[in-house]
């Protein structure tokens, strides 16, 4: 039985005339003719939009077709007298060759221009279950550029909700490093959607690696993103009254450091705990501070 394609691909195929093929049809269903085409007469499309074929997934497909055969026919376009180019189904073709199949089931069309071939290839890829989120987004973007579709038109073309298309396309805003994690299946589509709103590239990458390889659930990552975007309020700055309570000894220490380092020095905290911050405003300032530190180190060493 011919396996049904998704809505978009079925609509496209219905409007494309079948090519004349000398082989006897394998079967006919709902007006679709499927032929057994010799595998040696078939060649891949060099402009196939999908460039990455996962080795593990390919091995799984090979194992499946050895047991069950090819359940979904390839889509081919006739080239010359007896050659056929793959429009959709290159993974099945590769698996069949690796399994030493002599023929493969195929639907053969004619009169397809380059744009139509690319659209069919993209839609067929979009309807694959193992397509990762970035590959899906890139295919959607290619379809939009190819035909100038709006998101609503694109959604109708491929049989998906407009919101689903919009959410998928947003993932293209991710940094290349994060996209790579999604392509490698180290980060799920849900994780990717959770961090796409973070515009700072370094922070986005850091969060992605923290969540990668199952280190965080999507819900945990969403919580981290909410905290990142709405951090808890900082502690109230020290009031003038509290600053005035700093001991005279600490104030004198800061004043002495200003004179020694000849630059701005400030203290954050109190007599028990805090930070002393020494600013420098030029290379000369930094060199002078470094010389003083070296002098103090030498003095300490001689004293020991």
Active-site residue list = 90
Integer angstrom CA distances of residue 289 from 118, 180, 235: 65, 45, 31
Q: State the Cα–Cα distance between residues 202 and 189, nearest whole angstrom.
A: 20
Q: State the Cα–Cα distance between residues 214 and 293, nearest whole angstrom.
A: 47
Tokens of 63: 């194992």
Identify whether the C-beta of residue 139 lies closer than 8 Å to the C-beta of residue 122.
yes
Tokens of 176: 């290349």
Q: State the Cα–Cα distance between residues 153 and 143, nearest whole angstrom.
A: 11
Among 265, 249, 247, 246, CA closest to 257 = 265
Provide the sign of the torsion angle of the four alpha carbons 263, 267, 273, 275, taken in this order. negative
Tokens of 75: 């889509």
Among 121, 113, 133, CA closest to 75 = 121
Taking the CA atoms of the chain, what radius of gyration do you get in angstroms?
Answer: 32
Helix (H) or strand (E) holding 75: strand 74-79
Q: Which residue reads 């104030």 in tokens?
A: 251
Q: State the Cα–Cα distance between residues 153 and 166, nearest whole angstrom.
A: 12
Length of the chain: 304
């Amino acid at each position: 039985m011919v396996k049904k394609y998704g809505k978009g691909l079925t609509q496209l195929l219905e409007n494309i005339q079948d090519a004349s093929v000398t082989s006897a049809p394998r079967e006919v269903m709902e007006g679709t003719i499927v032929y057994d085409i010799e595998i040696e007469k078939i060649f891949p499309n060099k402009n196939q939009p999908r460039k990455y074929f996962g080795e593990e997934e390919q091995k799984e497909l090979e194992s499946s077709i050895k047991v069950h055969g090819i359940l979904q026919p390839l889509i081919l376009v006739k080239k010359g007298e007896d050659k056929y180019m793959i429009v959709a189904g290159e993974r099945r073709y590769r698996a069949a060759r690796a399994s030493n199949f002599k023929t493969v089931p195929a639907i053969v069309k004619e009169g397809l221009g380059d744009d139509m071939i690319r659209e069919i290839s993209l839609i067929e890829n979009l309807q694959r279950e193992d397509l990762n989120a970035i590959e899906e987004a890139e295919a959607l973007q290619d379809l939009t550029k190819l035909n100038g579709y709006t998101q609503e038109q694109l959604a109708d073309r491929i049989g998906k909700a407009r919101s689903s298309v919009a959410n998928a396309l947003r993932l293209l805003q991710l940094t290349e490093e994060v996209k790579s994690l999604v392509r490698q299946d180290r980060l799920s589509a849900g994780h990717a959607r959770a961090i796409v709103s973070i515009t700072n590239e370094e922070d986005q990458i850091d969060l992605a690696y923290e969540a990668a390889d199952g280190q965080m659930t999507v819900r945990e990552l969403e919580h981290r993103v909410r905290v990142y975007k709405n951090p808890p309020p900082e502690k109230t700055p020290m009031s003038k009254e509290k600053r005035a309570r700093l001991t005279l000894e600490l104030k004198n220490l800061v004043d002495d450091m200003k004179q020694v380092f000849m630059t701005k020095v400030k203290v954050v905290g109190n007599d028990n705990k805090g930070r002393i911050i020494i600013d420098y405003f030029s290379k000369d300032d930094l060199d002078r501070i470094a010389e003083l530190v070296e002098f103090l180190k030498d003095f300490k060493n001689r004293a020991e």
